[in-house]
């Protein structure tokens, strides 16, 4: 699952504030359209994309893979 975030970046110190987490880019665009009505020149925003993984997905991905061609009867 992919998640999008919209982040406001402070121009003075670079600190960030997450303004929302969204399911797709279209939702981010709707929020940006709303924000743009009140934005000042120089306001900075960042859109980030994250891949959400479950615990099970990560366990499968990072568990050592067993090469069955090298196992012996002693291993079983």
Domain assignment of residue 18, yes or no: yes
Question: CA angle 41-4-16, nearest 5°?
Answer: 45
Domain assignment of residue 73, yes or no: no
Number of domains in the chain: 1
- 71 band by pLDDT with thresholds 50, 70 and 90: low
Domain assignment of residue 61, yes or no: no
Domain range for 26 is 2-54
pLDDT for the residue numbered 9:
95
Q: Which two tokens stand for residue 47?
A: 């859109």
List helix spans (H) across the chain: 25-36, 55-62
State phi, psi for 30 to the nearest 5 degrees: -60, -45
Domain assignment of residue 11, yes or no: yes
Domain assignment of residue 65, yes or no: no
Domain assignment of residue 66, yes or no: no
pLDDT for the residue numbered 28:
98
């Amino acid at each position: 699952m992919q998640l999008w975030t919209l982040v406001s970046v402070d121009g003075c110190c670079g600190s960030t504030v997450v303004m929302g987490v969204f399911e797709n880019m279209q939702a981010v665009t709707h929020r940006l359209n709303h924000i743009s009505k009140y934005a000042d020149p120089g306001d900075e925003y960042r859109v980030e994309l994250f891949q959400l993984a479950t615990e099970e997905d990560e366990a499968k991905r990072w568990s050592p893979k067993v090469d069955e061609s090298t196992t012996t009867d002693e291993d079983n």
